[in-house]
A and B are shown apart, each in its own frame.
Chain A
Amino acid sequence: MKPKVAFYWCASCGGCEEAVVDLGEELLTVADAVDIVFWPVAMDFKTSDVEALADGELAAAFVNGAIRTSEEEEMVRLLRRKAQVVVAFGACAWLGGIPGLANLYGRRSILDYVYGEEPSLEEHDGARPQEETDVAEGHVSLPTFDDDVRTLDQVIEVDYFLPGCPPPGELIRTAITALIEGTLPEKGSVLAPDVALCSDCPRLPSKPEKPSVKRFVRPHQVQIDPDLCLLAQGLICLGPATRSGCGAVCIAANMPCTGCMGPVSRVVDHGAKAMSAMASLLEADDEAEADALIGEIADPVGTFYRYSLPASLLHRRREPEAAGRSPS
């Protein structure tokens, strides 16, 4: 009897599903090896199919996307009950991902902007989508959104984490194989190498023996040397602070690493560690000079926490209304 697996997406872009589809022929072999009982993006099975399962009947549930709504929360709790192994699939499920940058704004300010300020809006009475609406024919309701984006393991217990935006095919393959062959590592592991990207970087040999940065530049401001270490060119490359396993594809495309593979196991806060390394490398001892040069980074949160804000120590921007929610 083939192991049953489920794929599910929460607040995500669908890229993780695409990554699975991209396994191509292997998808067919995987489909042979396992019994996919739930996969909304590609197959017509419904929630009730999952509810019908006995607890633990699923060998594994692969969940991508961050958590924002009560519906998502219920669904992942359901999957947790049904699955022996839950895998947080991709940067959003593990760390919050780019949609996690929404934690820089409160729910209210986002609604105000999207439905109140954008230039293409019709002149209207400031109507907003309502959770409850009475229409001519009856009553219509919309789900409530939490004020913040949560990572999967901030909601349910997660056994494994598959990094990347989306996870590299190689890692997905290895993970699924390990699952089928029962060779998964100890629970809580991130299913990727536990060393930073520099170790894989084709440009490492071109890195200076003693790296340092005179000033940080932004990718659009310079002709980027296709062979020289990007950090040595003053570009903020998060390769030194980010897990390997992606094959350094962005760097191969002559663009700096933005950190989608997340931190290694020894790091608590991806952005903080990356900031520490970058700031240390800057050649400026005078306070005013250092501050000016650091100011040129322009957007520290978007730069160093692009994929990990909800998983970071601060989790979200501090809002006055957050005052009621202090940790006890």
Chain B
Amino acid sequence: MSQILIDPITRLEGHGKIQIFLNDEGEVDRAYLEIPELRGFEAFARGRRAEDMPQITSRICGVCPMAHHMAATKALDDLFQVEPPPAARKVRELIYDAFIVEDHALHFFYLGGPDFVVGPSAPKGERNVLGVVEKVGLEIGQEVIAVRKQLRDLIGFAAGKVIHPVFGLPGGVSRPLTPELQEGFQAAAGRAVDLGTLALRLFRELVLANPTYVEMITSETYTHRTYSMGLVDPQDRVTFYDGRIRVTDPSGGEFAVFDARDYLTRVAEHVEPWTYMKFCYLRDVGWHGFEDGPESGVYSVAPLARLNVAAGMATPIAQEASEEMVSTLGGKPVHHTLANHWARIIELIQAAERMTELAADPEILNPDVRTIPTETGGEGVGVVEAPRGTLIHHFRADEQGLITDANLIVATQNNAARIALSVDKAARALIHGVDVDEGLLNQVEMAFRAYDPCFGCATHSLPGQMPLVLCIRDPRGGILREIRRD
């Protein structure tokens, strides 16, 4: 009896395992996406000093540490009941947008991009950043690297460290922005906008110009009609640093708008015995299994969802680009999972444009960047839009300022149910019998890679990493094939 095994799933942050069960006809009966990782941050956050949360929780993920650092910092504003001075707020948002740009660039060019840019069934040795460089040329490759480096260096200087920042404090940031850094951000912002438009161009040329890809994107295989969730600004436009949480139903109508502090009344986590991942769903709709449609509480977050819940983008070039996408894909809401790659570029552009605005704001140099808390202890919730979706940090602390309870709703967790759906659906569509070729299996992986999922984030739990295995079983559970792609 032959075996197939994918080990481990690659080009995503974190770890996963897919179990696919075939029926007697050799058709996919059910695919399970298991997240075997648990690091327990919430558990060992208890007893730590509240003000250390931004630095401790950033270790949940080294790819989006800024998102956790910022969500925790905002939760501390709430917990210590302090309002950061305007300059501090702007410094935070500027740095946060810079982070969104470089992180989206990372995913497009390094992690998700290769699938399209190099091709889903290209030889594995090429399906990586170096392959991308091959395809798009060294200059572009170097420009991508250069821009990310420039942005990450700036973030490093401003936040202390780009990987695991230290600048966030309840009531502000650890130090004011220097004029030199302001100039640096201004320069980088312009360059980032160009990179965004470049990425857009590449996407048009390499993806949209290729009918097979377009067909793949719009195919039912990669489509689910679920609820969408994301932060919106007062004008209901896409925002990353702060805003209200908006939820739209599968047909695009507003389902709910609420403040992060009320998340517990809106969102619940579902536990399955076969995975360490906890699946988020909308309380008001309820958990009805891994289903899409208006009757299922399953919802999605991340770039495409953000575009779906927002009336539009907050900056001109991004707005233009989003209109192009929506019209190309037949109007909002867009439910094609693979369109996340496109939406990601559009978001990259908005973040870059927003950087330009903030860096130009004279107020941002104001040395008053700290409000010293007078209260200790209490409860606080903080929310940001992480690159991978809505991220909520929720802490309670005692009178000593030590954490007594911590609860984290992490981007990929919001998406978890939908990702499981995608994998299941892709498997059904792509796998017929046990003869599965490697490119096909990569297309199964593409189903979740499109979300830029971070299982490290998602299970912010006991250290422990497990390769993702694609394991195909017969109806009696016996292993037909385990695919170890070689």
Q: Given A110-B38, A255-B166, A258-B55 in contact, is the A119-B264 Cβ separation under 8 Å?
A: yes
**Cα of A43 to Cα of B463 in the assembled complex, Å:** 22
Is the C-beta of A189 less than 8 angstroms from some C-beta in chain B? Answer: no
Smallest beta-carbon distance A14→chain B, Å: 4
Which residue on A lies nearest to B138, using beta carbons? A28
Q: Contact check: which of A9, A19, A24, A258 meets B163 at CB < 8 Å? A: A19
**Cα of A24 to Cα of B485 in the assembled complex, Å:** 29
Is the C-beta of B63 less than 8 angstroms from some C-beta in chain A? Answer: yes
Q: Which of A97-105, A174-182, A286-294 contacts B (4 or more CB under 8 A)?
A: A97-105
Contact partners of B161 in chain A: CB under 8 A: 249-250, 253
Is the C-beta of B461 less than 8 angstroms from some C-beta in chain A? Answer: yes
Contact partners of B51 in chain A: CB under 8 A: 218-220
Q: Given A25-B145, A249-B156 in contact, is the A119-B167 Cβ separation under 8 Å?
A: no
Contact partners of B394 in chain A: CB under 8 A: 119-120
Contact partners of B106 in chain A: CB under 8 A: 21
Contact partners of A133 in chain B: CB under 8 A: 273-274
Q: Using a CB-CB cutoff of 8 Å, which residues 72-102 of chain B contact chain A?
A: 76, 80
Most chain B CB atoms below 10 A, which of A22, A42, A255: A255
Which residue on B lies nearest to A140, using beta carbons? B274
Is the C-beta of A302 less than 8 angstroms from some C-beta in chain B? Answer: yes
Contact partners of A98 in chain B: CB under 8 A: 56, 59
Is the C-beta of B160 less than 8 angstroms from some C-beta in chain A? Answer: yes
The answer to whether A220 touches B159, judged by C-beta atoms less than 8 angstroms apart, is no
**Cα of A145 to Cα of B37 in the assembled complex, Å:** 9
Is the C-beta of A265 less than 8 angstroms from some C-beta in chain B? Answer: no
**Cα of A8 to Cα of B8 in the assembled complex, Å:** 11
Contact partners of A31 in chain B: CB under 8 A: 130
Q: Using a CB-CB cutoff of 8 Å, which residues 113-157 of chain B contact chain A?
A: 124-125, 127-130, 133, 141-142, 145-146, 148-149, 152, 156-157
**Cα of A44 to Cα of B370 in the assembled complex, Å:** 46
**Cα of A139 to Cα of B283 in the assembled complex, Å:** 29
**Cα of A45 to Cα of B7 in the assembled complex, Å:** 9
The answer to whether A140 touches B19, judged by C-beta atoms less than 8 angstroms apart, is yes
**Cα of A104 to Cα of B58 in the assembled complex, Å:** 19
Contact partners of A120 in chain B: CB under 8 A: 263-264, 267-269, 394, 407, 409
Interface string of A99-116 (1 = CB under 8 A from B): 111101101011101110
Q: Which of A121-129, A153-161, A204-212, A266-274 contacts B (4 or more CB under 8 A)?
A: A121-129
Additional 18 contacts, C-beta under 8 A, given A99-B463, A136-B30: A11-B462, A13-B59, A14-B63, A41-B11, A43-B128, A102-B39, A102-B44, A104-B47, A114-B43, A118-B42, A121-B278, A122-B269, A129-B275, A145-B464, A218-B49, A220-B373, A224-B175, A302-B47
Is the C-beta of A245 less than 8 angstroms from some C-beta in chain B? Answer: no
Contact partners of A16 in chain B: CB under 8 A: 62
Is the C-beta of A142 less than 8 angstroms from some C-beta in chain B? Answer: yes
Q: Contact check: which of A92, A109, A122, A220 meets B463 at CB < 8 Å? A: A92
Interface string of B158-172 (1 = CB under 8 A from A): 111111101101110
**Cα of A24 to Cα of B102 in the assembled complex, Å:** 13
Q: Using a CB-CB cutoff of 8 Å, which residues 3-37 of chain A contact chain B?
A: 9-19, 21-22, 24-25, 27-28, 31
Which residue on A lies nearest to B392, using beta carbons? A120
Q: Which of B204-212, B329-337, B343-351, B473-481 contacts A (4 or more CB under 8 A)?
A: B473-481
Smallest beta-carbon distance B94→chain A, Å: 15
Residues of A within 8 A of B (CB): 9-19, 21-22, 24-25, 27-28, 31, 40-49, 65-69, 71-72, 92, 97-102, 104-105, 107, 109-111, 113-115, 118-122, 124, 127-130, 133, 135-140, 142-143, 145, 149, 165-166, 218-224, 226, 249-250, 252-255, 258, 260, 298-299, 301-303, 306
Contact partners of B456 in chain A: CB under 8 A: 12-14
How many contacting A-B pairs (Cβ < 8 A)? 317
**Cα of A68 to Cα of B464 in the assembled complex, Å:** 5
Is the C-beta of B400 less than 8 angstroms from some C-beta in chain A? Answer: yes
Most chain A CB atoms below 10 A, which of B52, B275, B278: B52
Is the C-beta of B65 less than 8 angstroms from some C-beta in chain A? Answer: yes
Contact partners of B141 in chain A: CB under 8 A: 28
The answer to whether A97 touches B59, judged by C-beta atoms less than 8 angstroms apart, is yes
Which residue on A lies nearest to B28, using beta carbons? A137
Contact partners of A249 in chain B: CB under 8 A: 156, 160-161
Contact partners of A258 in chain B: CB under 8 A: 52, 55, 166
The answer to whether A114 touches B461, judged by C-beta atoms less than 8 angstroms apart, is yes
Q: How large is the interface on B (under 10, 10 to 19, 20 to 34, 35 or more residues)?
A: 35 or more
Contact partners of A221 in chain B: CB under 8 A: 372-373
Most chain B CB atoms below 10 A, which of A92, A140, A299: A140
The answer to whether A149 touches B11, judged by C-beta atoms less than 8 angstroms apart, is no
Smallest beta-carbon distance B304→chain A, Å: 23
Q: Contact check: which of A43, A65, A110, A298 meets B465 at CB < 8 Å? A: A65
Smallest beta-carbon distance B78→chain A, Å: 13
Q: Contact check: which of B21, B29, B125, B270 meets A122 at CB < 8 Å? A: B270
Contact partners of B167 in chain A: CB under 8 A: 253-255
Is the C-beta of B272 less than 8 angstroms from some C-beta in chain A? Answer: yes
Most chain B CB atoms below 10 A, which of A17, A71, A114: A114
Contact partners of B276 in chain A: CB under 8 A: 129, 142
The answer to whether B464 touches A69, judged by C-beta atoms less than 8 angstroms apart, is yes
Q: Given A41-B13, A99-B39 in contact, is the A46-B8 Cβ separation under 8 Å?
A: yes
Q: Given A22-B163, A142-B276, A220-B51 in contact, is the A49-B463 Cβ separation under 8 Å?
A: no
Interface string of B49-73 (1 = CB under 8 A from A): 1111001100111110100000000
The answer to whether A24 touches B148, judged by C-beta atoms less than 8 angstroms apart, is yes
Contact partners of B160 in chain A: CB under 8 A: 249-250, 252-253, 255
Is the C-beta of B484 less than 8 angstroms from some C-beta in chain A? Answer: yes
The answer to whether A130 touches B43, judged by C-beta atoms less than 8 angstroms apart, is no
Is the C-beta of B197 less than 8 angstroms from some C-beta in chain A? Answer: no
Smallest beta-carbon distance B90→chain A, Å: 17
Smallest beta-carbon distance B443→chain A, Å: 13
Q: Contact check: which of B110, B125, B146, B166 meets A21 at CB < 8 Å? A: B110
**Cα of A70 to Cα of B454 in the assembled complex, Å:** 22
Q: Given A129-B271, A166-B62, A219-B51 in contact, is the A22-B44 Cβ separation under 8 Å?
A: no
The answer to whether A223 touches B39, judged by C-beta atoms less than 8 angstroms apart, is no
Smallest beta-carbon distance A120→chain B, Å: 5
Q: Which 9 A-B pairs have the closest CB atoms?
A: A15-B62, A11-B463, A138-B477, A253-B160, A137-B21, A44-B124, A68-B464, A13-B62, A110-B40
The answer to whether B268 touches A121, judged by C-beta atoms less than 8 angstroms apart, is yes
